[in-house]
Amino acid sequence: MLNPDDSILHKLETLVAAGQRQRDSAQSAIARRLDHLTAELLASRPSRKANALGWLFAARKKDHPPVRGLYIHGGVGRGKTMLMDMFFDAVPIARKRRAHFHEFMADVHERIYKHRQKLKNGETKQADPIPPVAAELFGEARLLCFDEFSVTDIADAMILARLFGELFAKGCVLVATSNVEPDDLYRDGLNRGLFLPFIDLLKANAEIISLDTETDYRLNKTDGHPVWLAPLGPETEAAMDRAWYVETGGAPVASAEIGRKGRKIHVPAAAGSSARFTFADLCAEPLGAADYLAILSRYNTIFLDHVPHLGPHLRNETKRFIILVDALYDQGARLFASAVAEPQHLLTAKKGTEGFEFDRTVSRLIEMQSAEYAAQHPGNLTAR
């Protein structure tokens, strides 16, 4: 049984009492539901048996109905990530995993690739990679937690229903946050009809809850840390060059390449743990979440030059920019960027999936300018 002092609601009330959070009835309601889910997860664990065979029969025994997860949706900056962090830290089960959705799917595709290589090499006769990949994932984590769940990639969309059909059948529990309702996932996506069964599966296996609060708490954190420079022009170019020099300590700059699955990602300029790209380098080229994560495994500070206005006229570039910012934020990377406008004025038209998701991108870019974010992810350049 969970100690009341370890409950999410208690921790939230403690933050409010200390003046670190505002009292928010919507957040408190979500905290209570997460505490209830924690209790359900603990109650549904199989009883410990004396031997391995006992565990096998215990796993098969249906002492409890399946545990439904939670899908929490709401506007950006409403506290979803904070509540997810509290829940994941508090739930006392060993087989749990918290990941950004894009990072998780990159792992899934890597496992599928490895399984197909085994099939090619005659190491397995299982032609379908989804069941063994799902079994591996469930063996590692009964509880999967995704922050900012969003589907933008057709390759992800096409396998989600089958993958999570296997996972849910095994007893996997999903807890996810998103800024869109399930019915708006992968909106206007290519071949969306093939994705719709996943939405039905999600609704059947997770309670859908809206975090409806008017305050964007992230906007309260910013104090104008000058890492987003706009508009474009000679002064901005000079400021980016000065920031690059300070951040790299004047170290020698050279191009680099990162190998990935038989191809190479070109890095135009790199020095130490910093890398510099243009918007076209990262968002006009056919790169995805796994590529951005590969870059961030080597560099923790990214300079991005010449971010243009975005929207339907640059749909693919806009989609990649959203994924890039998600990766930067999730990996705790620093971003210095020159752009045609401030983040909230980049998108020219709010249409389709990208329009919904860009609200999250704006909020993250604003938070990444804050002194608080800089203090948590320090580089050489100090706030000024």
Q: For each of the domains in the chain, give its residue range(s) and CATH number, in order of start.
A: 4-210 (3.40.50.300), 221-376 (no CATH)
Q: Taking the alpha carbons of 12, 18, 22, 23 in that order, is the dihedral positive or negative?
A: positive
Helix/strand/coil for 260: strand
- Work out the average pLDDT over 233-257: 89
351-378 average pLDDT score: 80
Average pLDDT across the chain, whole number:
85
Q: For the range 185-189, what are the long-range contacts, defined as Cβ-Cβ under 8 Å and sequence gap of 24 or more?
A: 185/149, 185/150, 185/151, 185/353, 186/151, 186/152, 186/157, 186/353, 187/352, 187/353, 187/356, 188/351, 188/352, 188/353, 189/151, 189/152, 189/154, 189/157, 189/353
Higher pLDDT, 295 or 382: 295
Task: Give the range among 75-84, 230-239, 276-285, 308-317 with minimum mean pLDDT.
Answer: 75-84
Q: Is the pLDDT of residue 377 over 80?
A: no
pLDDT of residue 1: 55
Measured in degrees and rounded to the nearest 5, phi and psi for residue 76 equal -70, 150
Can you tell me whether residue 274 is helix, strand or coil? strand
State yes or no: pLDDT of 137 exceeds 70: yes
Give dist(CA 260, CA 258) in Å, integer. Answer: 6
User: SS3 breakdown of the chain: % helix, strand, coil, rounded to 5?
Assistant: 50, 15, 35
Mean pLDDT of 35-52: 75
Distance CA 161, CA 166 (A): 9
pTM higher than 0.75 for the full model?
Answer: no
Return the pLDDT at 217. Answer: 56
Dihedral sign (CA 56, 59, 61, 63): positive
Nearest to 107 by CA among 293, 326, 296, 328: 293
Tell me which of 336 and 22 has the higher pLDDT.
336
Please tell me the least confidently modeled range out of 43-47, 280-284, 316-320.
43-47
Residue 89 structure tokens: 């830290």
Q: Is the pLDDT confidence value at 308 over 50?
A: yes
Higher pLDDT, 347 or 102: 347
Q: What is the pLDDT of residue 15?
A: 79
Q: What torsion, rounded to 10 degrees, do the Cα atoms 31, 37, 40, 45 define?
A: -120
Phi first, then psi, for residue 283 (nearest 5°) are -120, -15
Q: Sorting pLDDT into bands at 50, 70 and 90, what band is 76?
A: low
* pLDDT for residue 247: 85
pLDDT confidence bin for 150, thresholds 50/70/90: confident
- Provide the token pair at 283: 């968002």
Greater model confidence, 295 or 47: 295
**For 97-116, b where at least 16 C-beta lie within 10 A, e where not — what string?**
ebbbbbbbbbbbbebbeebe
| Token pair recorded at residue 223 | 């104090």
Per the listing, tokens 């951040």 go with 247
Could you tell me where the beta strands, DSSP code E, fall in the chain? 69-73, 96-100, 143-147, 173-178, 206-210, 228-229, 254-260, 263-271, 274-278, 301-307, 334-339
